Structure 1
Amino acid sequence: MSDTLATSPASSRTADTPLRADIQILRAVAVLWVLAYHAQLPGATGGYLGVDIFFVVSGFLITGLIQRALLQDRFSFAAFYGRRARRLLPAAYGVLALTLLAAPWTLNRSEQLDLVSQTWGALGFANNIVLWQQTGYFQGASELKPLLHFWSLALEEQYYLLLPALLVFTRSSARWVMLVALTVVSGALLLLWQPQDASAAFYLLPTRAWELGLGSIGALLADRLAGPRAQGLLRALAWPAWALLLLVPAAPQVVGAAHPGPAAAIVNLATLVLLLRTSASVPRWTQPLVRIGDASYALYLVHWPLLAMLHNAWVGVASAGNHLWVWRLGAVALAGVLAAGLHVGVERPAKHALTGRRGAAWLISGTVLIALGAWALKLWTPAAGAVDFVELRRPNYGLSANCDAEGPFEGRADCRSARTPRWLIWGDSYAMHLVPGLVDAIGSNGLVQATKSSCGPFPGVTPVRPELGEGHSFAPPWIAQCAAFNASVLSWLTRHPEIDTVVLSSLLTQYLDAPKYELQRTGEGQRIRGGDAMAAAALKDLRTTVQRLTAMGKRVVFIAPPPSAPFDIAACLEREQAGRWTLGATPGCAIEADEDLHRRAAEHRFVTELSEPSTTATVLRFEPQLCRGDRCDVTWDGVPLYRDAGHLSREGSRLLLPPLLRSAGLAEQVRDRR
């Protein structure tokens, strides 16, 4: 019995020839990395690079298929797109339909509405654009989106829509030159765009096409590299290439933080080396990997909706006695069973059954039914009298979304509650969430809002996350933008003596959490590392800021962040109200005071030290209002006080701020809304 499995060289493969076994192994490695990453297994921090492997393989196979058809003068746009539809849509539609059916029982309403948009995006091959628009500081966590993984399928489908025309209308001898040029342009766009908008660079075709383009270039050059000398070199490079595919996703940060970036380029080139080999066999012991590769598309489709629904159900505190990692492994195991059924029962037979007009009718009908199902989910409304959690959980930017500054502070009109305000609030999103209550509390005194997400009122230091690539918060150019914003606030205050009270507020975590962040001194580039050093630098900077403001004749108030939970409080309350499947919840979704004190020990110490008599600011805390014994309230008279794990809801802000200010003698006449 032979100990190898036969494969078909790329140059001779036809539409009916089985896929090369080595390519199926590549697919298996790719999907296994993705599963390990999504299951958050140790040693898979770069498992997302499995998608980059898929991109190169897809570009190689599709371009090879089109090129062979063109050389044989038998290419047809209708046949190509029909084959793609039969290959991709039936299994995808099955997953979309089941996800929509499960959504009312597994997803909260905000996530359901996001799912509707994602479903329509999937049907229109535009889910990457939809997900790009759903990203942002205040948007729902990506791990809660059941169709998040469809972004890569949409990107591939967009490439498939454009590639045939590019090849058909380019002379045969110039096709590889055209693809090289487009690949280089895409790579250049990535380098230019990523520092400005890392999210767009991640999701959109112009900055990801270079990965598929590498595969396309390989397909056109495969025959030229089929000679003994070239194949000898490729065989010598094969083992290093496999080593890179197995090692780089385990520790991508070693070669660079940005994604897509150096790590993606390395695994892409390694994949291309392996694709260009024309070896006729692979070891027989790799047969299980070949089978996983056969079902890799179904496995990719199925696994993430299961994990996302689990993440929606898990509101997550360890003291509840549940272990999320066990549930994740169970979801992955279930995904394997369901994927096998989807591959055998839907994916494989559909390629042969859904042909001709009848097949087109079935696919069109499926598209319409899923679109209508998404519309029905959108029209569903909560029971009368229930809390409207969609409205409650909407982003709270304060007076206006424009008050989440992108540039220097200018005191714009839509960030004022009165023509000539006397109060100013300065800080990050934990200053934004105070605005509704402050406006109620100070009334005709008026408020002007100076806020920027993640950027606290610390002009002398800025938080940094070294592992993040350019274009993200806490990485260039955001670091310079945050420092410039804070400098502009101080400058504006010196020109506006009518402001008599300045309220400062921040989450503080980004200035104190040493394992995750560093601090950079403004104008120097010097980094501060270590919890004690960071706390000392941040405290000194804030005290200096308070002294500067006091010297301007302004009263300074620092409002500490409220107690928080290691889970989304509003999501927990919504699941409790709706009776949805919930894991890891505390009774009543309450905050455990001791857990909060332990988890945010650095923040509590910072606020305590700031409260010392040497500080001229008035320091206010929410704990006396909210915490009694070992629990802190998350509702008052049935009204949710939080919109997520730590930000106050609008109504929560209005309930808490007036009595908080009055307790300090800052607003004696304010109305108590409770």
Structure 2
Amino acid sequence: MEFRSDINALRAVAVVSVVLFHFGLPVFFGGFVGVDVFFVISGFLMTGIIIKGLHEGRFSLLRFYASRSRRIIPALAVMCFALLVFGFIYLPLEDFRDLAKGIKNSLFFGSNFYFAGDGGYFDAPLSENWMLHTWSLSVEWQFYMVYPILLIVLHRFLGFRGVKITLVLIAVMSLVLSVYVTSYNATYAFYMLPTRAWQMIAGGLVFLFPLALSKAQGRFFEVLGLSFIFISVYFFSEELLWPGYLALLPVVGAVLVIYGNSSSRFSRNRLLQFVGKISYSVYLWHWPLVVFLYTCGLLGSLYAVTAGIALSFVLGAFSFYLIESKESMLPSALRMLGKYLLVVISVAGVSAAMASAAKKYPDIRFPYVEFGQPDYRSKYFSQECFPNDYKAAECKLGEGEVSVILFGDSHAQSTAAAVQLVNKSAALSWARGGCPTLLNFSMRDKKLEDVCRAFVRDKVNILADSFNGIPLVVFNHFSLYLDQSRDNDFKVYFNGDANQGGDGLYKDYRREYVSTICELSVNRPVFIVRPVPVMPFSVYKGLNLQKKILGENADIAISLDEHVKRNHEANLAIDEARKECNVKVLDPAPYLCPDGKCLGSYNGKPLYYDDNHLVDAGNDLLKELFIDVVR
């Protein structure tokens, strides 16, 4: 394919949108659509290469694979190796092992399968995953594996016309599938090839169905297409279910720009041409920098973000000139494929070996000793736990008669120490991670939904017949169940509407929450604990990186306003329950949020196990909250 400056400029728009979105710059809330634009560009170029080769009778499948390997693998392998060294020195052991696993998935182009899978309750947020951005490379590579074979078969048996008709049908089916799957499993739709293929084929159809446009028409197409992309970047956000039908806007925008094929100021802009040239390497390097700033709590710092963006382009330029541009095609495609396969196996092998060695011989990482994750289990009380059908933490805490019952999700377990610090008797803990205190609800994770509903119903039935008069303290990680982001399988909904959101969701949640609390409060005093502040990342990891790399030990915190805003709807439900069910409400914020800042650490010591579960250091600050419960 001949070089087209308009497509190179479009690459620049795509990568800048993605980079600025990931670094959290305002106005670029929909910058993730840059990946969709990349898919369209890739489909156009690959279709052109394959179809021209087939028409001229010189297309080689091995040479195509070798060419794609030369384009993708060298820069990816170097980035992976650099992260491997960084992680070996600076990351906590389990994070380093997760990084090594991610590197293997990325080098073998299967990371999208990993990210589309179900994550555990304590798994690190995706924003802490150093290899998250490689999902799109995996999707593209899978497309490269299948697409040329499909076109070869279609071209041989159906001819050029058959190729065009079949690709239109496949694109339509993929789009329909994307819209359908996005509505009930947006995570799968986001990461997987069958629901993304239509975007790449859309680019291919531009090549297969060319338009003869005048210069004025071409410029109109270009302006209209760029407008569609910029509208998507400005008005869309990550809270939308994606890709689905909304992805048509940036995809059609990219299609129009490619159709325009205009020699305009846009396509001739030198800066855009330079950024487009290094766009792949910039994409590779920007995300690890985002994760670093995120984990250190620096994504809110203008200086840190500016430095991170600048460094993304500097590293991208180095990667392009020192790695990408140095790779040339060998005479033998088979030899070239062998070379890159050896690179992949070598880096993946070194990654596995280093992860294994770090686990077996932790001293080899000296003097970069990690501070370690705080203990989740409290040292303040003994506990005896009982087997159950729900995989819940059903335990007796402390000694003597049970004087209080702690009921809820994992926050009931992680905050138990604060209660027991002032409780002279025993407590009964009923805690099932990921389960809202609701009797009737639906959840994206259907297996967990069944377990949670059975767990809550079982405990409500037990309380109806026993433990009369014993105080009940209810804990919930409320924002987890009301968060409407696309990758949250814990989000609840009602009336069978998996896409429920906004006021309808909040109204139904309040109604069901009040109903459940009122049923619990029939024979006993009930205390509802307002939400514990949630940090934006795992606190101890941020402290680790701050100390090791930046030489700082600044405490991590969020603003009280941010905490209040995040939990607005949860607090409305709690207030309504207090009014309707005659229960009392306990608020952790005055104890954890002095001077308008909610602390994630205090004097360099983490108060959380991760980003939302308190440990003993945090519970020490909270103990006075529960004095009236056990008095």
Report the TM range for the smaller structure's normalisation. 0.7 to 0.9
Match in the other structure for 1:51: 35
Q: Does 1:497 align with 2:464?
A: yes
1:75 pairs, out of 52, 59, 70, with 59
Cα distance in 1 for partners of 2:84, 2:104 equals 12
Cα distance in 1 for partners of 2:200, 2:417 equals 48
Q: Does 1:300 align with 2:283?
A: yes
Residue 217 of structure 1 and its aligned partner are, at CA, apart by 2.2
Match in the other structure for 1:556: 526
1:336 pairs, out of 313, 321, 340, with 313
Alpha carbons of 1:436 and 1:175: their partners in 2 closer, same or farther (altered >3 Å)?
A: farther
Match in the other structure for 2:488: none
Match in the other structure for 2:240: 257
* Deviation string, structure 1 residues 380-420 (Cα, Å, up to 9, x no partner): 14559976429859xxxxx9xxx9xxxxxxx835337389x
8 Å CA contact 1:503, 1:558 repeated in 2: yes
Residue 581 of structure 1 and its aligned partner are, at CA, apart by 3.3
Cα distance in 1 for partners of 2:260, 2:622 equals 68
SS in 2 for 1:60: helix
Q: Does 1:248 align with 2:232?
A: yes
8 Å CA contact 2:295, 2:538 repeated in 1: no
* Deviation string, structure 1 residues 210-264 (Cα, Å, up to 9, x no partner): 1112112222223xx3x469x986664332122222332111269x932213442
* Deviation string, structure 1 residues 296-320 (Cα, Å, up to 9, x no partner): 112212222222223233367xxxx
Match in the other structure for 2:340: 363
SS in 2 for 1:52: helix
Match in the other structure for 2:541: 571
Alpha carbons of 1:610 and 1:241: their partners in 2 closer, same or farther (altered >3 Å)?
A: closer
SS in 2 for 1:194: helix
8 Å CA contact 2:460, 2:519 repeated in 1: no
8 Å CA contact 1:21, 1:290 repeated in 2: yes
8 Å CA contact 2:11, 2:276 repeated in 1: yes
8 Å CA contact 1:425, 1:503 repeated in 2: yes
Match in the other structure for 1:216: 204
Amino acid at match of 2:520: L
Cα distance in 2 for partners of 1:162, 1:279 equals 31
Residue 492 of structure 1 and its aligned partner are, at CA, apart by 6.8
Residue 566 of structure 1 and its aligned partner are, at CA, apart by 6.0
Residue 550 of structure 1 and its aligned partner are, at CA, apart by 3.0
Which aligned pairs between 1:17-56 and structure 2 lie closer than 5 A? 17=2, 19-56=3-40
Alpha carbons of 1:389 and 1:283: their partners in 2 closer, same or farther (altered >3 Å)?
A: closer
Amino acid at match of 1:647: H
Cα distance in 1 for partners of 2:610, 2:407 equals 21
8 Å CA contact 1:46, 1:250 repeated in 2: yes
Which aligned pairs between 1:111-126 and structure 2 lie closer than 5 A? 111-126=95-110
Alpha carbons of 1:242 and 1:110: their partners in 2 closer, same or farther (altered >3 Å)?
A: same
SS in 1 for 2:528: strand
8 Å CA contact 2:222, 2:261 repeated in 1: no
1:97 pairs, out of 58, 61, 81, with 81
Which aligned pairs between 1:31-430 and structure 2 lie closer than 5 A? 31-133=15-117, 135=119, 138-170=122-154, 171=157, 172=159, 173-222=161-210, 225=211, 227=212, 236-252=220-236, 257-277=240-260, 285-314=268-297, 324-352=301-329, 359-360=336-337, 362-379=339-356, 380-381=358-359, 382=362, 388-389=372-373, 412-415=389-392, 417=394, 426-430=407-411
Residue 60 of structure 1 and its aligned partner are, at CA, apart by 0.8
Cα distance in 2 for partners of 1:290, 1:44 equals 21
Amino acid at match of 1:298: S
Residue 556 of structure 1 and its aligned partner are, at CA, apart by 2.8
Residue 180 of structure 1 and its aligned partner are, at CA, apart by 1.8
Cα distance in 2 for partners of 1:130, 1:79 equals 29
SS in 2 for 1:149: helix
8 Å CA contact 2:6, 2:263 repeated in 1: no
Residue 175 of structure 1 and its aligned partner are, at CA, apart by 1.2
Alpha carbons of 1:389 and 1:160: their partners in 2 closer, same or farther (altered >3 Å)?
A: same
Q: Does 1:643 align with 2:609?
A: yes
8 Å CA contact 1:565, 1:596 repeated in 2: no
Cα distance in 1 for partners of 2:374, 2:345 equals 27
Higher deviation after alignment, 73-82 or 375-384: 375-384
8 Å CA contact 1:22, 1:282 repeated in 2: no
Amino acid at match of 1:180: V
Alpha carbons of 1:100 and 1:176: their partners in 2 closer, same or farther (altered >3 Å)?
A: same
Cα distance in 1 for partners of 2:127, 2:600 equals 24
Cα distance in 2 for partners of 1:599, 1:55 equals 37
8 Å CA contact 2:533, 2:563 repeated in 1: no
8 Å CA contact 2:534, 2:563 repeated in 1: no
Structure 2 length normalisation: TM-score? 0.76
Structure 2 unmatched runs, 5+: 378-382, 397-401, 484-490
Residue 279 of structure 1 and its aligned partner are, at CA, apart by 5.2
Residue 45 of structure 1 and its aligned partner are, at CA, apart by 0.9
8 Å CA contact 1:123, 1:367 repeated in 2: yes
| Cα RMSD for the two superposed structures | 5.1
* Deviation string, structure 1 residues 512-563 (Cα, Å, up to 9, x no partner): 99xxxxx999779999869xxx89x999986765443232x24534344456
Amino acid at match of 1:102: F
Alpha carbons of 1:292 and 1:623: their partners in 2 closer, same or farther (altered >3 Å)?
A: closer
SS in 1 for 2:242: coil
8 Å CA contact 1:27, 1:296 repeated in 2: yes
Residue 657 of structure 1 and its aligned partner are, at CA, apart by 10
Residue 153 of structure 1 and its aligned partner are, at CA, apart by 0.8
Amino acid at match of 1:334: L
1:431 pairs, out of 412, 435, 454, with 412
Residue 128 of structure 1 and its aligned partner are, at CA, apart by 1.3
Alpha carbons of 1:155 and 1:376: their partners in 2 closer, same or farther (altered >3 Å)?
A: same
Match in the other structure for 1:10: none
Cα distance in 2 for partners of 1:154, 1:520 equals 31
Match in the other structure for 1:319: none
Structure 1 length normalisation: TM-score? 0.72
Amino acid at match of 1:85: S
SS in 2 for 1:417: strand
Cα distance in 1 for partners of 2:370, 2:451 equals 44
Amino acid at match of 1:585: A
Match in the other structure for 1:585: 554
Cα distance in 2 for partners of 1:345, 1:661 equals 61
Cα distance in 2 for partners of 1:442, 1:121 equals 51
SS in 2 for 1:558: strand
Q: Does 1:506 align with 2:462?
A: no
Cα distance in 2 for partners of 1:291, 1:339 equals 11
